[in-house]
Amino acid sequence: MPLITQGFDANRIAQFADELFDLPEAQMAKPRKEGGWSRKQILGHLIDSASVNHQRIIEAQLTGSIYFTGYAHQQWVELQGYQEMDWEEIVTLWCAFNMQLCAIVERIPEEAIDKMHVDHSYHETAFNELSADEPSTLGYLIADYFEHVKYHLAQILAV
């Protein structure tokens, strides 16, 4: 398993899913703070992020570019309707998407992960933004994605 996955693999995803399944549905539907997202919406946001990053990881390998456009994450969460969905459905979808991402990352040749690019969009699209002047790699995107997942899972699991 590449180090860039931040310790995420199929077993770790399954462990997280088990923890998430055990959380009470009613509590998952409540906003964490006034005007904020509920835990359902946060996990839904992670599904959207998985979807977007899945495409980015594949496109980077097809095109050789790590320049990506952002996405309207607030609107995605609203339009997907995660708040109205069943918690178990959301967890199942999150788990499946991340299992697939782990499998994809394992298949990426090391030279594709480590190839330096001068032109990237991580100053606009990354969880941990990177200066546009600093060269980067596809590996940065992958590590950044899993760091983003860890951040939000901590929010959800801090019940």
Give the pLDDT confidence of 76-101 residue by residue, as tens digits: 999 999 999 999 999 999 999 999 99
Q: Where are the alpha helices (DSSP H) in 108-137?
A: 110-114, 122-125
**pLDDT score recorded for residue 3:** 57
**pLDDT score recorded for residue 8:** 81
**pLDDT score recorded for residue 7:** 78
CB 142, CB 113: distance < 8 Å: yes
**pLDDT score recorded for residue 17:** 96
**pLDDT score recorded for residue 1:** 42
CB 136, CB 120: distance < 8 Å: yes
**What's the CATH number where 64 sits?**
1.20.120.450
Query: Nearest 5°: CA angle at 100, between 77 and 89?
Result: 45
Number of domains in the chain: 1
90 vs 92: CA distance, rounded Å:
5
Token pair, residue 29, equals 């539907």
105 vs 142: CA distance, rounded Å:
8
Say what the pTM is: 0.93
Q: The dihedral of CA 53, 54, 55, 58: what is its sign?
A: positive
Which residue stretches of the chain have pLDDT < 50?
1
Full domain range(s) for residue 91: 3-157
41 vs 31: CA distance, rounded Å:
9
